[in-house]
Amino acid sequence: AQSVTQLGSHVSVSEGALVLLRCNYSSSVPPYLFWYVQYPNQGLQLLLKYTSAATLVKGINGFEAEFKKSETSFHLTKPSAHMSDAAEYFCAVSEGQASKLTFGTGTRLQVTL
């Protein structure tokens, strides 16, 4: 069965600092991996996804993530945080032809001045 672990339910960074949100997955077959962002009282918006092409995936708003099979990881990074990045971030996995998404518990990103 597929699963996702997000380390750190809350992450706080200063504006302009590096953002690193961690995601580890478990999957019995080659996975598809996703990062979604959720702003207060809104639905989830796709940031980026890995679908077995390039292992370094670039997304919207300057975010990127690297798929590392040996570490079963798909960490999300952004070189310089902006106040508007404050939100909840979810990592998710799906397998093969089954599109069911299994989500992690989320990481709330706080950006301070």
Partner 1 sequence: EAGVAQSPRYKIIEKRQSVAFWCNPISGHATLYWYQQILGQGPKLLIQFQNNGVVDDSQLPKDRFSAERLKGVDSTLKIQPAKLEDSAVYLCASSLGGSGRETQYFGPGTRLLVL
Pick from 68, 82, 96, 112: which binds partner 1 (CB under 8 A)?
96
**# binding residues, partner 1 (CB under 8 A):** 29
Specify the stretch interacting with partner 1 by CB under 8 A; choose among 14-22, 56-64, 71-79, 101-109.
101-109
Question: What DSSP element (H or E) covers 50?
Answer: strand 44-50
Binding of partner 1 by 42 (CB under 8 A): yes
DSSP 29: S
Single-letter amino acid, residue 57:
V
Place of tokens 């992690």: 104
Residues interacting with partner 1, by CB under 8 A? 4, 31-32, 34, 36, 41-46, 49, 51-52, 90, 92, 94-106
